[in-house]
Structure 1
Amino acid sequence: MSAADLPPEPGPAAPTGAAPPFDPELAAALAALGGGAREPITPENLAVRQALDVAARPRPTVRELEADGRFEVAELRVPGAPDGPDVTLVSARPAGIPRPLPLLYYLHGGGMIMGNARSVLPQLLREWALPLELAVISVEYRLAPRTRYPGPLEDCYAGFVWAAAHAARLGIDADRIVIGGKSAGGGLAAALALLARDRGGPVPIGQLLLCPMLDDRNDTFSSHQMAGLDTWDRTSNATAWQALLGDRYGAADLPPYAAPARAADLSGLPPAYLDVGSAETFRDEDVAYAQALWRAGGEAELHVWPGGFHGFDTFAPRSALARDARDARSRWLRRILAR
């Protein structure tokens, strides 16, 4: 399928005003990376970009993740959905803590077309597992277009149910599980919270949604405003959603588990943390999701980071804005875990 074959995207006309400026530190970091950082993903280059991602993205070994004995790490193969394959989970926890630990059940980013479970773990272990004394499980869910919806979400759900049921074996507290993820992983985490609620699955105590990918319709003001400017723009977004949804892309009756922004009922969900940049494609859909949670009587903490583009804390991890974002996330996690 070519870009011309993608379904039309209804929505607001392209804005005529200027886009929000990038934070100066972030703009400098982006400029140093060159134009490749903003080259969109299209149906034509998707296979090449996926291959490049597999080659370039870190995939640390279990031994490397153990960090000279600071962490206990195991790769687990657990039963998947009834009609699906087994699911790989990478489980890690600070070493030498005999008591059950709270768990961060984490879903990696990459537009549901790229990424892997191991690459995110060094940062998660350094920033949260050690200082907060929590365990982390990262999920190797299947990627689109090879596996379309609902395959990736069912992988995440199966691993979540298994982890909660085997809490004693894992050394975790099944009553203190936070689900979370970034970008596509944030969208999957939001969908997982909906699915667990509706199936009567394990009940997480919070959902950590970092610049989540929530709306397949791709028609918000910010998606038009940041076209060609953000590191993940509406062209890449359309390509990823089409890869995930296939013939269901653009369908009026798409279920909320495929795209949580479609949900009509957000009641009964765990407290949420959402953050997003003011200068990124997902800004308006993420703000709208926080508002919908509040309207449903839910609890949500929302941060819109001024001048942040998509994934700014990955591209410029030492910037002041990235440090502020990490601090805010850690404070929320501490509060949730202390309840």
Structure 2
Amino acid sequence: MTTRHLVDPELAALLDHIPTTVLTAEILKQIRAMSPQATADVSQFAALSVSERFISGPEGAPDVRVLVYLPNSVQEAVPALLWLHGGGYIMGSADAEDLTVKSIVSTLGCAAVSVDYRLAPETPYPGPVEDCYAALKWLATHADELGIDLKRIAVGGSSAGGGLAAALALLTRDRGEFSLAFQFLLAPMIDDRTCTLANPHPYTGEFIWTPEANRFGWTALLGQEPGGTDVSPYAAAARAERLEGLPATFLYVGALDLFLEEDLEYARRLMRAGVPTELHVYPGAYHGFRMVADARVTQTAERDLLAALKRAFDPAHRSKVF
């Protein structure tokens, strides 16, 4: 059975150009070798500056590379987004999502720090999330130097980046050193148990990120088969028993995305825990549909996420709603 007939027509053409690939260690090596570098600065982003920093990593671990995006000519402290790239926990980079971050910073006038966390399987849990926590700590402790409003820091990402953002929000809440104003979860990869469902959703996961790829990614991150009883919520946020006290949340997912049901369930639980939560499900959309930038569903999703982040960064709105 195929779900091709359910795909938004404007998203369908891309699928003809993406080969069906079974992830292996060798294939992963090839994919990483093709990872794009940072895009060149162009005139539309002249109002922001980008710098590379190497910050102190977790104890006993290497420094963490981050890209820092700052708007030019700002007169007062600005909000900031800690951005965590996608890639199934096994690939991707801060450079590969340079255009995404620049677009957010340019549109909203905020700052951003994009984290080049270590990848699995070379660095399994807890390495990646601890790298992200180190970046958050650096951002918070250097807020004055960077011109950032410490009370308006959001964390976000897509796919595995969204999963790390959710895990980092839990870790930040539980450690109590800093606070987050918002979590921004785009089709987050948050539940290893999706790999082990006896009765999986019949219409999700056929394209881009499949059940087989999902098992490969989770196995790499966890260092063991997914679905066990001892998986930490800081590795798979859906494992958290308590969601109270998390920051206000924006979450979206495509209706054909493998992560549909785990994301819907996480959003439901957030609302049950009293966390202000905005949820969007886009019909006909598979995982990674944002690659088709000119599709109307993609443009709608972009408007939704930018509007949500703008509201989260608005002090007047936050005081009334959050």
TM beyond 0.5: yes
Aligned equivalents of 1:58, 1:17: Cα separation in 2: 31
1:21 matched to 2:11: no
Q: Secondary structure at the match of 1:204?
A: coil
Describe the shift of the 1:40–1:309 C-alpha distance in structure 2 as closer, same or farther (beyond 3 A): farther
Partner of 2:33: 54
| Residues 169, 246 of structure 2: 8 Å contact kept | yes
| Residues 50, 113 of structure 1: 8 Å contact kept | no
Partner of 2:144: 168
Give CA-to-partner distance per residue, 1:135-166, whole Å, 9 cap, x none.
Answer: 11100000000000000000000110111011
Aligned equivalents of 1:228, 1:77: Cα separation in 2: 37
Specify which structure has the bigger relative contact order, considering alpha-carbon pairs within 8 angstroms and separated by 6 or more residues: 1
Describe the shift of the 1:17–1:107 C-alpha distance in structure 2 as closer, same or farther (beyond 3 A): closer
Partner of 1:262: 239
Give CA-to-partner distance per residue, 1:282-318, whole Å, 9 cap, x none.
Answer: 000000000010111111111000010000011x111
Describe the shift of the 1:69–1:297 C-alpha distance in structure 2 as closer, same or farther (beyond 3 A): closer
Give CA-to-partner distance per residue, 1:225-266, whole Å, 9 cap, x none.
Answer: 257722101100000000111136432021111101111100
Residue 202 of structure 1: how far off its partner (Å)? 1.5
1:90 matched to 2:72: no
Partner of 1:335: 311
Q: Percent identity?
A: 42
Query: How big is the alpha-carbon RMSD for the aligned residues of Structure 1 and Structure 2?
Result: 2.1
Counterpart amino acid of residue 209 in structure 1: L
Partner of 1:131: 107
Counterpart amino acid of residue 59 in structure 2: P
Structure 1: runs of 5 or more not aligned: 1-15
Partner of 2:124: 148
Aligned equivalents of 1:307, 1:130: Cα separation in 2: 29
* TM-score under structure 1 length normalisation: 0.87
Which stretches of structure 1, 4 residues or more, deviate above 6 A after TM superposition?
A: 16-20
Give CA-to-partner distance per residue, 1:69-120, whole Å, 9 cap, x none.
Answer: 4321111111111121111111012222242211010000000100011221
Aligned equivalents of 1:106, 1:221: Cα separation in 2: 34
Partner of 1:281: 258
Partner of 2:268: 291
Aligned equivalents of 2:287, 2:198: Cα separation in 1: 16
| Residues 186, 251 of structure 2: 8 Å contact kept | yes
Counterpart amino acid of residue 59 in structure 1: Q
1:115 matched to 2:92: yes
* TM-score under structure 2 length normalisation: 0.91
